[in-house]
């Protein structure tokens, strides 16, 4: 989707060209994802209120969760609270762990057809017996504000107007707010999941970065990471990326979150080598939510425009009048 970007004019920025980052002996700049996301959400709150006043419609985000995983439930609850905080409404659909793929698909299709709902989020992961890809693709592309459908991925990769995957999009906004120049730089993405690693690489390619994907079968991961100007760790393995692997001055984005508030990067050791680094928590997570809500507003705006066009078209009697 061609989405309305999060505002950057009032965000804290600092130019961090990777050719001129701190040396190995200087501590990295910690990228404050909470502060950057708070600035974006503040602006989003204003735009949401303006939209509501102009149209009478309150944007609505529906979150679907299957099972009773405490972490997933807490995450959905946090997103719902953020929705309300920026002036949107939130609907949570809780389904039992015994839910089948077919039952979940039916629920997602019903939400896709509900005119009150503007955006749909299927909380990941779902129970192992559910075909997650089939479930994701049951979400209408017009309401896929989490950017998880095959249609959204294709549109995003080809710059064709699909909703962007929220975490990769949020990572780009962190890099932008930090002043990192991506064009011509070597970015290593560690992880290849269809909702994080794969779209991350596509978005980096669109910024003219040279992208290397690494994964569980990559030989000599340390050597690949050591050549990167930008490292995106998104594999879900605690401290897989060692601090000693980091090229001095590189920018490190840790998209992992593991038990005990541990990321996918060996944070303490990386802090002494990187030029800039995201903490866990407080780095990528807040921006993921900010993008999700920003895209919910974008979906509501589009739906309102489509309805207005359709109503105007009907009043004129259609093209054959």
Residue with tokens 């996918």: 264
**Size of the chain in residues:** 321
**Structure tokens that stand for 86 in this block:** 């920026």
Q: What angle do CA 303, 314, 298 make, to 5 degrees?
A: 10
Catalytic residue numbers, as ranges: 79, 123, 146
> Helices in the chain by DSSP H: which ranges?
33-55, 70-85, 101-113, 132-136, 150-157, 166-178, 197-206, 221-225, 267-271, 284-315
Long-range contacts of range 157-162, CB-CB < 8 Å, 24 or more positions apart?
A: 157/199, 157/202, 159/2, 159/206, 161/1, 161/2, 162/1
Q: Chain-centre distance of CA 319, in angstroms?
A: 40
Q: Residue 54, exposed/middle/buried by CB under 10 A (0-12, 13-18, 19+)?
A: exposed
Q: Contact, 18 vs 209, CB < 8 A?
A: no
- CA distances to 39, 167, 221 from 148, rounded to whole Å, are 25, 11, 27
């Amino acid at each position: 989707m061609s989405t309305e970007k999060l505002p950057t004019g009032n965000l804290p920025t600092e130019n961090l060209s990777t050719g001129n980052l701190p040396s190995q002996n200087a501590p990295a700049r910690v990228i404050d994802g909470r502060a950057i996301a708070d600035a974006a959400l503040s602006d989003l709150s204003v735009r949401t209120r303006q939209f509501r006043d102009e149209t009478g419609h309150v944007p609505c985000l529906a979150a679907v969760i299957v099972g009773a995983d405490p972490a997933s439930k807490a995450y959905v609850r946090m997103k719902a609270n953020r929705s309300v905080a920026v002036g949107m409404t939130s609907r949570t659909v809780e389904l039992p762990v015994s839910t089948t793929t077919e039952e979940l698909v039916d629920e997602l299709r019903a939400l896709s057809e509900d005119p009150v709902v503007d955006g749909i989020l299927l909380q990941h992961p779902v129970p192992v017996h559910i075909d997650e890809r089939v479930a994701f693709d049951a979400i209408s592309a017009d309401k896929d504000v989490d950017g998880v459908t095959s249609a959204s991925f294709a549109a995003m990769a080809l710059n064709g107007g699909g909703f962007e995957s929220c975490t990769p999009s949020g990572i780009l906004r962190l890099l932008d707010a930090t002043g990192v120049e991506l064009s011509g730089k070597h970015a290593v993405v560690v992880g290849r999941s269809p909702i994080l690693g794969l779209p991350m690489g596509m978005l980096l390619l669109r910024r003219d970065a040279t992208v290397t994907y690494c994964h569980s079968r990559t030989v000599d991961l340390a050597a690949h990471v050591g050549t990167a100007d930008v490292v995106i760790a998104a594999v879900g393995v605690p401290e897989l990326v060692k601090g000693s692997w980091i090229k001095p001055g590189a920018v490190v984005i840790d998209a992992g979150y593991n038990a005990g508030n541990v990321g996918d990067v060996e944070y303490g050791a990386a802090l002494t080598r990187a030029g800039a680094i995201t903490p866990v928590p407080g780095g990528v997570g807040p921006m993921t939510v900010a993008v999700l809500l920003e895209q919910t507003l974008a979906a509501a705006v589009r739906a309102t425009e489509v309805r207005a066009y359709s109503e105007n078209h009907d009043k004129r009697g259609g093209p054959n009048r």
